[in-house]
Structures are given as structure tokens and as C-alpha cells.
Amino acid sequence: MEGSAQESCTTNSTFDHQITQWENRDALCTLTKLVDSVPVLDTRILESQRLLDRAATLMTEVVPGLREACMMREKLETDYFENMKVKKELYDGTARLEREPRRFRIRWLKTERKKTRVAKWEKKNLFNRENDLSDSDYEKYSTKSDSEGTLWSSDDSES
């Protein structure tokens, strides 16, 4: 009896009622109409569309500011690394020198940097004079370390 039960499950010979193509189509249409007409689903779709529209609006408003911030960061990084290249004592081993040679080297490097900076200022002022622009008073931008050195290079408290 077990064998005949298995046969009847695997074969369609005992299954008299087959679903026709039209019944299948009607069942799918009914299910689709039920799913499509669920009010909760409609409100969620509208809510999702509103959220997406709002997100798009926010992104449109934020992108220019974000682009400007990224460009400013890139410029600052470039300036920072250019300044690091100028300060040779950061990477040439000056910090490993003994105290007096280190102070002498840092003072010398600072005077060299100041000469370069003053030459650049004079060149800029010459350009300004040629184009009938006012000279810039770059001396007000010079710092105490330009003339006297920094604590690291001119600290006389340690002996």
C-alpha cells in the first residue's frame, strides 16, 4: 500500500482538477489588486517618495559647500606640505645635533628663509608698483621668530 500511495503523490493520474490558465490569471489579478490597493502601502510609497525628494533637495544644497570645503582642505594641505619642505630642520636630522650646533643651524636656516621671504615680498611690491597698486606692509606679518628665533632655538634658560 505504501508503494501505491507514493505513486499517487508523484503522478498526476489521480489529480482530476487542474488549474486552467484563466483561473491562474484571475488568481494573480486578484492578488495583485489586493496588494496594489493596500492603503498602508500607498502611504508608505508616498512617504518614501517625499523622503527621497527631501534627501535630493538637501544634497543639492549641501554639495556646493562640501565641494568648497574639500577644495579649501586640499589647498591648506598643499600649503602645509610646501611649508614643511621649506623647513629643512624638520627632516634633515637637525634635531639629533647637540644643543649649540642645533641652535646655530636653526638660526642660520631661519635667516635663509627670511631672506627668501623678503625677496618674495620685494618682488610682489615691485609688481604692485608697476601696476599702480599700493605696496603691502609685509613687515607687520613678520613674527618674533623671524628676528629672534623660537624658544626651541634660542632658549638660554637651559645651560
State the average pLDDT over residues 45-55: 92
Specify whether the CB–CB gap between 126 and 134 falls below 8 A. no
Gap between the Cα atoms of 153 and 159, Å rounded? 13
Over 60: is that where the pLDDT of 151 sits?
no
Q: Where do we find the cell 489588486?
A: 33
140 band by pLDDT with thresholds 50, 70 and 90: low
pLDDT tens-place string over residues 64-105: 999 999 999 999 888 888 777 777 777 778 888 898 998 998
Q: pTM for this one?
A: 0.37
C-alpha cell at 66: 562640501
pLDDT of residue 32: 72
State the maximum Cα–Cα separation within the chain, in Å, rounded to a whole number.
114
Q: What pLDDT is attached to residue 72?
A: 92
Exposure class string for 7-45: b at 16+ Cβ within 10 A, else e: eeeeeeeeeeeeeeeeeeeeeeeeeeeeeeeeeeeeeee
152 Cβ neighbours under 8 A, 6+ residues apart: 106
For the chain, the structural domain boundaries read 22-86, 96-149
